[in-house]
Amino acid sequence: MDLGIAGKTALVCGASKGLGYGCAEALVREGVNVVIVARGAEALEAAAKKLTEAAGASGAPFVKHVAADITTEAGRAAVFALGHDFDIVVTNAGGPPPGDFRNWDREAWIKAVDANMLTPIELIKATVDGMAKRGFGRIVNITSSSVKSPIDILGLSNGARSGLTGFVAGVARTAIAAQGVTINNLLPGSFDTDRLKGTMAGTAQKTGQDFDTVWEARKKNIPAKRFGTPAEFGAICAFLCSMQAGYMTGQNVLADGGAYPGTY
């Protein structure tokens, strides 16, 4: 299916690897120009190189990268200093650490809220009116299945992302909905990325099991009996950014191999 977005320009955050990279790659394959952001310059440059090769095949005119912390004002300023009018924005940053809520002080909460709620809101604020004026816009926030099905040790994530989810539910239904702009959240379950490996390594250490045992046991709890891939995640993201998805807004789209057991 031609998604009808060739020649558009996308900002994809947290995109040197993992789910963000999967989204950037899927968009580039559709002929979309991308600006990718991550903090680590080396991995980011390597990702940009791979995407540039994919762009050569799809005809996307450019791939740019900005090494910056997207959760800071300075990081976002560096991105907007490029001067692009973004048609598509994929918000993403690392998830907050796991732990026990008894150990989280105000600073830990502010950090989580900053990264996983206020940063996407700042990016929406900076881009949405321009999108509305031009009559087209797609914003996809990478959140987590924990918004629907909270994970006990990820309280910082459950809380901060729920705040973003509530905000998006409201703003997506404002006047921008009639101006060609959609805002949706894409909720990953378990995807094979470094973040998942890190979480599983933590569980292995805590429970005294070896990594492979924990990794395989987790798969068994998923109806699909496997983890998702960043490419699968990226394909869903690209669809949400497509012309065809123009009537879909304010939604929380779960990609979890059937792990969430609810009917709705």
Ligand X SMILES: NC(=O)c1ccc[n+]([C@@H]2O[C@H](COP(=O)([O-])OP(=O)(O)OC[C@H]3O[C@@H](n4cnc5c(N)ncnc54)[C@H](OP(=O)(O)O)[C@@H]3O)[C@@H](O)[C@H]2O)c1
Pairing between β-strand 9-13 and β-strand 88-91 as defined by DSSP bridges: parallel
> From edge to edge, which strands make up the β-sheet containing 9-13?
63-67, 33-38, 9-13, 88-91, 137-142, 181-188, 252-255
As measured in angstroms, the least distance from the Cβ of 44 to ligand X is 7
Binding positions for ligand X, rule: CB under 6 A: 13-20, 37-40, 43, 69-71, 92-95, 142, 144, 188, 190-191, 193-196
> Is 18 or 155 the residue whose CB approaches ligand X more closely?
18
> Is 115 or 132 the residue whose CB approaches ligand X more closely?
115
**Tokens at 28, concatenated:** 């580039």
As measured in angstroms, the least distance from the Cβ of 186 to ligand X is 9
> Is 14 or 155 the residue whose CB approaches ligand X more closely?
14
Number of neighbours of residue 120 by Cβ within 10 angstroms: 29
**Tokens at 74, concatenated:** 């300075």
As measured in angstroms, the least distance from the Cβ of 130 to ligand X is 22
Region for 177 from its dihedrals, namely left if φ exceeds 0, alpha if ψ lies in -120 to 50, beta otherwise: alpha
d(CA 97, CA 1): 38
> Is 144 or 165 the residue whose CB approaches ligand X more closely?
144
As measured in angstroms, the least distance from the Cβ of 58 to ligand X is 21
As measured in angstroms, the least distance from the Cβ of 83 to ligand X is 20
| H/E element, 106 | helix 106-113
> Is 176 or 190 the residue whose CB approaches ligand X more closely?
190
